[in-house]
Amino acid sequence: MATESNPAPPPLSSALPPPRMSVGAAGWIRANLFSTWLSGLLTVTSGAVLVLALWYGLDWVLLDAEWTVVTTLGGQFIIGSYNSEQACPGQNCFWRPQAALLLVTLLLGMGWGVAAGGLAKRIALIAAIAIALLAFLPYSLDKMGLDVRLLLIANLPALLAGWALARYTALGTARWIVILSVAVFLITLVLLRGVPGVPGLQPVLVQNWGGLTLNLVLAVAGIVLSLPIGIALALGRRSNLPVVKSLCVTFIEVFRGVPLITLLFMSQHLLPLAFPQNFPVNPLFRAAVVITLFSAAYMAENIRGGLQALHPGQAEAARALGLPGWQTTLLISLPQAIRNVIPAIVGQFIGLFKDTSLVYIIGMVDIVRVGYRFVSGNTQYLDNAPEVFIFISLVFWVFTYGMSYVSRHIERQLGVGER
Amino acid sequence: MTELARILTYQGIPVWRHTRVIQWAAQILSAIVVVALVAWFFANVANAVQERGISYSFSFLSREYHTPIGDTFVPYEPSDTYLYAFGVAALNTLVVAVAGVILATLLGIFIGVIRLSGNWLVSRLALAYIEFFRNVPLLVQLLFWFFIMLVLPPERDGYVIAGQLYVNNAGVSFPWPTGTGQPIATLIWLILAVVAIIAGFVVSRRLSRREVETGRTSYPVLLGCAAAVAIGALGWLLVNAFAGDAPLAISTPEPQGRFARIDGGFTARAGMIVLLIGLVMYTASFIAEIVRAGIQSVGRGQTEASRALGLSQLNTLRQVTFPQALRVIIPPWISQCLNLTKNSSLGLAIGFTELTSVAQTMTQLAPPIPIFIMLMAAYLAMSLTWSLIGNLYNRRIRFS
């Protein structure tokens, strides 16, 4: 009968649930770890390797590794031999980098205030809290004084002060933050270098700057200077003026063709010759010049890529609207070109930060050299070299990964690749 | 004259706003600035060279170098000249660059492919590898491996794996083919081996074209390999018959004497091993990202269509996805090869004698300026070679 051959569907309430193996945790595991026999085999072998690696790795980290080699160096990783008796005789100079750090935290707070939450807030809070927590490191008081600890904790009020400054005064705009950032960088340089004749600020030779501070100072200087130089070179390379173009191409190709380490090594002999004898060609200046020019050559190629990818209609429309050439470039082409190559630019910044580890070639003691010098100078610590370099790797990793994280966030906010 | 007058009065536009005039002024101005700057630097250098009596002649190149070089791939004596020592170091750079590029590419492709695998665990492991090795300076990684190598046991009680592979703080030794008594026989066989490989390629090319055109299964890879092996083996037997000796023999490493110095086989010394491990692991993380981006750039429809045609997952990757991804992969890959070549200058930090480190040693005994000129010329030549390869490839894919 009709009703038997074509039965009414059962009521919804009695519909069978989906098979247990295709939903929930079991379904996820099946789809992502055991979808085929090959995938299952991969999961089992790599899982076994991972477990073994974790087992032995944790065993080493917790039981076998001698982390005292890292804690012994402590402040030297941060600042090198800046605070040593030979560099800063008769005084405690550690407050100077710490004061600079306070200013940076203030800026972070202002960034949080201007951006009103989001990523800026997260970064500012994480950074300030992490710095403040350093104050509770279990060193004895004569190794890490009360003043040092208090200045570290002071980063929290500095953050809040920055936030309030941005919220309740006229300084709370992006433009002011840029201006103040440059000011803070210059103040940092003056603080670290010292001013002759001022008590408490006696000059410290740049040869004695070191540790992570040196890496950061060089990276910031390189980033700030290499971007405009790179933009100028990229525009020069695309210009239709033959002289300008060939000069830019020569510069870019020469600096891209030779390793940075070779350039640094050559600068040690050549730069002092290329300047008059009384010119202050100190190692810091040399390193900053070489790193900036090297990075600018790569930056130019990244930006040129962005300019090439831009549809010519953009520039044509701007010209048709009556914008003069320089306004077309500055207001129409460049912003879009740079936006398109943000990942490449940030990648270049990360590369620049990593490259600051090469300044040991010209005799500067950055964070890597601090570790290397200690390990190779104290043979009883030779076996503990892996601990030192794992620690240094993690320090670098935090910064570089943070940079790429921020870049991805900015990219998402600008909607790159969505149009 | 009339031309000038015409420009000056053109439609009432003042002359300083005339595009041509501005462009010429910009060119002349920039040229003057650059020339002045360069001239100032050169004047300073010339001044310093004269005042401090720095030599800039290349005559030192024919002097004897008198400095031992640890790793050499050609015979080298301390009594050889500076020029020859520079060449030995350049060869070291080349060997590390070529070996590094091959290994880094293989590892990079492997990690890039498993990064895209549907298996969550494997893909996460690849991601962890990439994010770690890419974000830590190469120098730190090299020093890490350097000290690991340094604290390995000495040759006397080093590790021996399967009786063939010797690992100790002097380096890694493994079996390696060497020529027997008659170098002519070895040479003839090597030429035959090259011919065999070329023949194998030709056979496989022909067969794969036939397969595409006619649809008949022709086993191009299998038969190509078979052809190469057959010609090689035939050559071996012929050379053996005529010369009365095998063209090549396998030399295995063997500990000798009281300190168990490893003799025979091939010993990759510690500096080279460290440099290679560091360069390969670092560069592979970048190549993996390039490979991933390349594969992802191939439309999903391509993969789905080839799966629908019944190609296996491996064949889809090998014959559909990868050839298309190559267009996107090759240009950044070339620039990674260039980076690897340049990063080999970090051999300086771990005691491997390559171009930069030999230059550093030489500047202590010889005038620096000619050495720098040679050094820059060597690196620029290498980077030009890589760019040339990249441009040739780009031209090929553009016109095909």
Say if the Cβ atoms of B380 and A355 lie within 8 Å: no
From CA A67, how far away is CA A361, in angstroms rounded? 28
Residues of A in contact with B139 (CB under 8 A): 357-358, 368
Q: Which residue do the tokens 């890496």 mark?
A: A215
Q: What 3-state class would DSSP assign to A418?
A: coil
The winner for highest mean pLDDT among A125-129, B6-10, B107-111 is B107-111
pLDDT of residue B1: 57
- Tens of pLDDT, residues A203-213: 888 888 888 99
List the 225-284 stretch of B: residues with Cβ below 8 A of A: none
pLDDT tops 70 at residue A1 = no
Q: How far does A201 lie from chain B, in Å, by closest CA?
A: 34
Q: Which residue do the tokens 């299998």 mark?
A: B222
Residue B55 — pLDDT band, cuts 50, 70, 90?
A: confident
Cα three-residue angle A190-A194-A199, rounded to 5 degrees: 130
Q: What is the DSSP letter of A170?
A: T
Strand partners, B250: B177
Say if the Cβ atoms of B348 and A361 lie within 8 Å: yes
In a mutational test of the B interface, the residue from A273, A378, A383, A401 whose CB has the highest number of chain B CBs within 10 Å is: A273
Say if the Cβ atoms of B34 and A375 lie within 8 Å: no
Say if the Cβ atoms of B359 and A262 lie within 8 Å: yes
Minimal Cβ distance to B120: which of A33, A361, A400: A33
Residues of A in contact with B151 (CB under 8 A): 382-383, 385
**Percent of chain A at pLDDT above 90?**
29
- Burial tier of A182 (Cβ tally within 10 Å: 0-12, 13-18, 19+): exposed
Residues of A in contact with B131 (CB under 8 A): 401
Which chain A residue's Cα is nearest to B367?
Answer: A269
The crossing angle, in degrees rounded to 10, of helices A242-257 and B19-51 is 40
Stretch (H or E) spanning A39:
helix A37-59
Say if the Cβ atoms of B137 and A404 lie within 8 Å: no
pLDDT of residue A11: 62
Residues of B in contact with A375 (CB under 8 A): 147
pLDDT of residue A419: 47
Q: How far does B29 lie from chain A, in Å, by closest CA?
A: 10
Q: How far does A67 lie from chain B, in Å, by closest CA?
A: 15
Say if the Cβ atoms of A400 and B135 lie within 8 Å: yes
Minimal Cβ distance to A274: which of B45, B342, B383: B45
Residue A166 and residue A113 in contact, taking contact as beta carbons nearer than 8 Å: yes
Minimal Cβ distance to A269: which of B139, B148, B368: B368
Count other C-beta atoms under 10 Å from residue A148's C-beta.
19
Q: Which tokens belong to A31?
A: 């789809």
Mean pLDDT, rounded, of chain B = 86
Residues of A in contact with B363 (CB under 8 A): 269
Say if the Cβ atoms of B139 and A368 lie within 8 Å: yes
Q: Read off the pLDDT of each residue in B215-219 and give the average, rounded to a whole number.
A: 80
Which chain B residue's Cα is nearest to A267?
Answer: B372
- Tens of pLDDT, residues A110-132: 888 888 768 888 888 899 899 88
Q: Which tokens belong to B156?
A: 């006397």
Residues of A in contact with B144 (CB under 8 A): 385-386, 389-390, 393
Residue B356 and residue A259 in contact, taking contact as beta carbons nearer than 8 Å: yes
**What length does chain B have?**
400
Which chain B residue's Cα is nearest to A360?
Answer: B349
Say if the Cβ atoms of B121 and A33 lie within 8 Å: yes
From CA A214, how far away is CA B306, in angstroms rounded? 54
- Tens of pLDDT, residues A12-42: 666 777 777 777 788 888 888 887 888 888 8
Q: Which tokens belong to A306?
A: 């962005």
Residue B96 and residue B90 in contact, taking contact as beta carbons nearer than 8 Å: no
- Tens of pLDDT, residues A276-316: 777 777 888 889 999 999 999 999 999 998 888 888 898 89
Q: How far does A375 lie from chain B, in Å, by closest CA?
A: 9
From CA A396, how far away is CA A367, in angstroms rounded? 10
pLDDT of residue B398: 61
Residue A298 and residue A256 in contact, taking contact as beta carbons nearer than 8 Å: yes
What are the two backbone dihedrals, phi and then psi, of residue B176, each rounded to the nearest 5 degrees? -150, 140
From CA B137, how far away is CA A353, in angstroms rounded? 9
What are the two backbone dihedrals, phi and then psi, of residue A241, each rounded to the nearest 5 degrees? -90, 115
Q: Which residues contact A49 (CB under 8 A, 6 or more apart)?
A: none
Count other C-beta atoms under 10 Å from residue A282's C-beta.
16
Residues of A in contact with B147 (CB under 8 A): 375, 382, 385-386, 389
pLDDT of residue A260: 93
Q: What 3-state class would DSSP assign to A278?
A: coil
Q: How far does B154 lie from chain A, in Å, by closest CA?
A: 14
Pick the more confident residue, A1 or B165: B165
A268-272, A348-352, A376-380: range with lowest mean pLDDT: A268-272
Q: How far does B230 lie from chain A, in Å, by closest CA?
A: 34
From CA A250, how far away is CA B3, in angstroms rounded? 35
Q: What is the DSSP letter of A65?
A: -
Q: Which tokens belong to A190?
A: 């003056």
- Tens of pLDDT, residues A77-112: 888 888 787 877 777 788 888 899 999 999 998 888
Q: Read off the pLDDT of each residue in B156-178 and give the average, rounded to a whole number.
A: 83
Residues of B in contact with A47 (CB under 8 A): 121
From CA B66, how far away is CA B76, in angstroms rounded? 11
Q: Read off the pLDDT of each residue in A53-68 and give the average, rounded to a whole number.
A: 87
Q: Which tokens belong to B116?
A: 């895209």
- Tens of pLDDT, residues B235-285: 888 888 877 777 777 888 888 777 777 777 788 888 899 999 999 999 999
Residues of B in contact with A328 (CB under 8 A): none
Minimal Cβ distance to B31: which of A243, A357, A396: A243
Minimal Cβ distance to A389: which of B34, B125, B143: B143
Say if the Cβ atoms of B375 and A266 lie within 8 Å: yes
Q: What 3-state class would DSSP assign to A141?
A: coil
- Tens of pLDDT, residues A219-278: 999 999 999 999 999 998 888 888 888 889 999 999 999 999 999 988 888 888 888 777
In a mutational test of the A interface, the residue from B18, B24, B28, B119 whose CB has the highest number of chain A CBs within 10 Å is: B119
Residue B63 — left, alpha, or beta (φ > 0 → left; ψ -120 to 50 → alpha)?
beta
pLDDT of residue B52: 77
- Tens of pLDDT, residues B85-103: 999 999 999 999 999 999 9
From CA B190, how far away is CA B200, in angstroms rounded? 15
The winner for highest mean pLDDT among A156-165, B150-159, B182-191, B384-393 is A156-165
Stretch (H or E) spanning A27:
helix A24-33
pLDDT tops 70 at residue B180 = yes
Say if the Cβ atoms of B125 and A400 lie within 8 Å: no
From CA A217, how far away is CA B360, in angstroms rounded? 27
- Tens of pLDDT, residues B319-340: 888 888 888 888 889 989 999 9
How much is the CA Rg of chain B, to the nearest whole Å?
28
Q: What is the DSSP letter of A366?
A: E
Residue B286 and residue B112 in contact, taking contact as beta carbons nearer than 8 Å: no
Residue B368 touches partner A, C-beta closer than 8 Å:
yes
pLDDT of residue A94: 82
Q: What 3-state class would DSSP assign to A16?
A: coil
How many contacts, defined by CB atoms under 8 Å, are there between A and B?
154
Cα three-residue angle B197-B201-B203, rounded to 5 degrees: 115
Q: Which tokens belong to B230?
A: 């057959």
Residue B2 — pLDDT band, cuts 50, 70, 90?
A: low
Q: Which residue do the tokens 């992570």 mark?
A: A212
From CA A157, how far away is CA A127, in angstroms rounded? 13
Residues of A in contact with B132 (CB under 8 A): 393, 397
Q: How far does B307 lie from chain A, in Å, by closest CA?
A: 15
Residue type, position B133, single letter: F
Residue B67 and residue B78 in contact, taking contact as beta carbons nearer than 8 Å: yes
What are the two backbone dihedrals, phi and then psi, of residue A322, each rounded to the nearest 5 degrees? 95, 10
From CA A84, how far away is CA A87, in angstroms rounded? 5
Residue A306 and residue A332 in contact, taking contact as beta carbons nearer than 8 Å: no
Count other C-beta atoms under 10 Å from residue B372's C-beta.
18
pLDDT of residue B400: 46
pLDDT of residue B8: 65
pLDDT tops 90 at residue A395 = yes
Residue A408 — pLDDT band, cuts 50, 70, 90?
A: confident
In a mutational test of the A interface, the residue from B139, B169, B317, B335 whose CB has the highest number of chain A CBs within 10 Å is: B139
Distances (CA, A) of A255 to A218, A265, A298, A351, B283: 18, 14, 8, 15, 20
Residue A109 and residue A159 in contact, taking contact as beta carbons nearer than 8 Å: yes
Residue A366 and residue A78 in contact, taking contact as beta carbons nearer than 8 Å: no
3-state secondary structure chain B: CHHHHHHHHHHHCCHHHCHHHHHHHHHHHHHHHHHHHHHHHHHHHHHHHHHCCCCCCHHHHHCECCCCCCCCCCCCCCCCEHHHHHHHHHHHHHHHHHHHHHHHHHHHHHHHHHHCCCCHHHHHHHHHHHHHHHHCCHHHHHHHHHHHHHCCCCHHHCEEECCCEEEECCEEEECEEEECCCHHHHHHHHHHHHHHHHHHHHHHHHHHHHHHHHCCCCCHHHHHHHHHHHHHHHHHHHHHHHHCCCCEEEECCEEECCCCEEECCEEEEHHHHHHHHHHHHHHHHHHHHHHHHHHHHCCHHHHHHHHHCCCCHHHHHHHHHHHHHHHHHHHHHHHHHHHHHHHHHHHHHHCCCCHHHHHHHHHCCCCHHHHHHHHHHHHHHHHHHHHHHHHHHHHHHHHC
Residue B272 and residue B96 in contact, taking contact as beta carbons nearer than 8 Å: yes
What ranges do the domains of chain B cover?
A: 2-51
pLDDT tops 60 at residue A2 = no
pLDDT of residue B50: 82
Residue type, position A218, single letter: L
pTM of the model: 0.87
From CA B345, how far away is CA B342, in angstroms rounded? 6
Nearest by Cα to A268 from A287, A254, A252: A287
Residue B27 touches partner A, C-beta closer than 8 Å:
yes
Q: What is the ipTM of this complex?
A: 0.88
Q: How far does B341 lie from chain A, in Å, by closest CA?
A: 9
Strand partners, A366: A211
Residues of A in contact with B141 (CB under 8 A): 389, 393
Residue B125 touches partner A, C-beta closer than 8 Å:
yes
